[in-house]
Structure 1
Amino acid sequence: MVQDLNGLTVIISGGSSGIGAAAADAFAARGAKVAVLDLNKSEKHWSQPCDVSDDHQVRQAVEATVDHFGSIDILVNNAGIGAIGTVEENSDKQWFRVLDVNLLGMVRLSRACLPHLRDSTEAAIVNTSSIAATTGLVNRALYSASKGAVHSLTMAMAADHVAEGIRVNCVSPGTADTPWVARLLDQAEDPVEERRKLEARQPTGRLVSPEEVAAAIVYLADPANKSITGTNLAIDGGVASLRLVR
């Protein structure tokens, strides 16, 4: 693979597993310097412990990244947690917790990185949203609301920072074959049947791979695509837009 991101530093939150880990690998393969911010240490890339719900930890991790690499050019806001239930079933405590991580976590990390991104000529932010932001999914009220907020935040940030040369976009994966989804399936009465249903829901007949989402994240962050900002890129096997008659 052509290493055309040489010299650029990318921060990836939630980068030790799933989509974040795949993104870390994809950026590294293109020559970027990768900093993983996660509760868990990355086994492959330089990393800092960071809980995105703690503003002090976020600022410390960002400053440690700048001290180590000298700059920040790309931010991937990927850290997030899930939730299952209707508006009746999730408590206020659950709502505050999920929004604190999925939405405010992106706010905190973006806020800490922006002074450094302004110093870059290749600055980009990519947020991980979800098709749940725009597609009604059963028993996902809280999760969908958090990702809908991420989608709206992305568009507002793109408008706020385009004059500074900072591009802001988001990806919206469908159901991805990640450790988090695997844990949800393990909790089902019939994990095999539940996985079959998830696969059947997507027109391609399979779950989205973390590597496919990672490729989209790198594409949006790539300085070669400087006209792309304020964009939501669905990586969902067609589930949000296709209605197939079978």
Structure 2
Amino acid sequence: MGFAGSVVVVTGGASGIGRAAAELFRSEGATVVVADKDGRAADEVARQLGGESVAVRTDVSNSEDVRALMSFVDARFSRLDVLVNNAGFGVAGTVQDLPEEDWDRLMNVNVRSVFLCSKYAIPIMERCGGGAIVNTGSYTAMVAIPNRVAYVTSKGAIASLTRAMALDHAAQNIRVNCVAPGTIETPWFDRSFAESDNPDEVRKALNDRSPLKRMGRPEEIAEAILWLASDRSTFATGSVLTVDGGTSIW
């Protein structure tokens, strides 16, 4: 899709959807910066990607880390074409029983990181004539699920933040979109299966969320991210692209 010579930053790029996106952008010719709090895993992914791809250990909820990440990208490559704000996680809980510190921690990683990474990426993109930002949201921005109040709220905020940034930065030739995955088979779910007393039952319940009766694959979401960042979607900005196997249409 024409990413040769492009520089792409992927947050949460050491595993799951982020890793699949990093691999796909690299296969299309991009130089990928793998930003992840797990520096060792990020180093390994960057090594496997090859070329000029590099890892930067980053806590995306920390403004100093994010400024350092974007300063590194600017100094090393003098450009930034695509930012994939993918880092995020979930915790269980309702408003009544979720600890305040868990709410704050999740909001910092899921929402504050999108604000921070975009804030410090946009000046580089603008100087280079524009770029694309793709945020990883969730179908839960449209259809709530029980006992995940912080996660659902954070993904709703990402959808709104996407639209606001798209409006604010269109004149700078910066497109901002969001991909909204359904339940995706990532290492987080692998750990959940391993810790469950009945992994098969848990897996079936997750599969049954979708009319397609399966979880999605990280590579399927990576394809949507690539399209939103590419020249094949030049009239798309402020969009939330749902890729959830039909879960939100039940």
Q: Same fold (TM over 0.5)?
A: yes
Instruction: Please tell me whether residue 44 in structure 1 is matched to residue 52 in structure 2.
Output: no
State the SS of the aligned residue for 1:240: helix
Moved more, 121-130 or 22-31: 121-130
Question: Matches of 2:243 and 2:122 in 1, distance apart?
Answer: 27
Q: From 148, 167, 170, give the equivalent of 2:156.
A: 148
Counterpart in the other structure of 1:33: 31
Q: Percent identity at matched positions?
A: 41
Letter matched to residue 28 of structure 2: R
Q: From 158, 165, 171, give the equivalent of 2:166.
A: 158
Q: From 21, 24, 35, give the equivalent of 1:23.
A: 21
Please say if residues 12 and 34 of structure 1, whose CA atoms lie closer than 8 Å, have aligned partners that are also in contact.
Answer: yes
Deviations 1:123-167 (A, max 9, x none): 000000001111121111111001110111001111111111100
Question: How many angstroms does 1:122 deviate by?
Answer: 4.8
Question: Matches of 1:232 and 1:185 in 2, distance apart?
Answer: 30
Question: Matches of 2:245 and 2:79 in 1, distance apart?
Answer: 36
State the SS of the aligned residue for 2:64: helix
Letter matched to residue 44 of structure 1: V
Instruction: Please tell me whether residue 9 in structure 1 is matched to residue 4 in structure 2.
Output: no
Counterpart in the other structure of 1:135: 143
Question: Matches of 2:122 and 2:220 in 1, distance apart?
Answer: 27
Moved more, 206-215 or 182-191: 182-191
* Structure 1: unaligned runs, 5 residues or longer: none
Please say if residues 129 and 172 of structure 2, whose CA atoms lie closer than 8 Å, have aligned partners that are also in contact.
Answer: no
Deviations 1:175-215 (A, max 9, x none): 00001122233333312101101001111111110000000
TM superposition score normalised by structure 2: 0.93
Question: How many angstroms does 1:40 deviate by?
Answer: 1.7
State the SS of the aligned residue for 2:208: helix
Letter matched to residue 127 of structure 2: D
Please say if residues 180 and 242 of structure 2, whose CA atoms lie closer than 8 Å, have aligned partners that are also in contact.
Answer: yes
Question: How many angstroms does 1:19 deviate by?
Answer: 0.2
State the SS of the aligned residue for 2:113: helix
**Superposition map of 1:193-204 within 5 A:** 193-204=201-212
Aligned residues between the structures = 240
Question: Matches of 2:5 and 2:129 in 1, distance apart?
Answer: 12
Instruction: Please tell me whether residue 231 in structure 1 is matched to residue 239 in structure 2.
Output: yes
TM superposition score normalised by structure 1: 0.94
Instruction: Please tell me whether residue 181 in structure 1 is matched to residue 202 in structure 2.
Output: no
RMSD: 1.2
State the SS of the aligned residue for 2:94: coil
Question: Matches of 2:170 and 2:15 in 1, distance apart?
Answer: 31
Please say if residues 184 and 218 of structure 2, whose CA atoms lie closer than 8 Å, have aligned partners that are also in contact.
Answer: yes
Please say if residues 28 and 34 of structure 1, whose CA atoms lie closer than 8 Å, have aligned partners that are also in contact.
Answer: yes
Letter matched to residue 77 of structure 2: F
Question: How many angstroms does 1:238 deviate by?
Answer: 0.6
State the SS of the aligned residue for 1:160: helix
Question: Matches of 2:78 and 2:134 in 1, distance apart?
Answer: 21
Change (3 A) 1:15 1:180: same
Letter matched to residue 12 of structure 2: G
Please say if residues 179 and 224 of structure 2, whose CA atoms lie closer than 8 Å, have aligned partners that are also in contact.
Answer: yes
Letter matched to residue 239 of structure 1: T
State the SS of the aligned residue for 1:34: strand
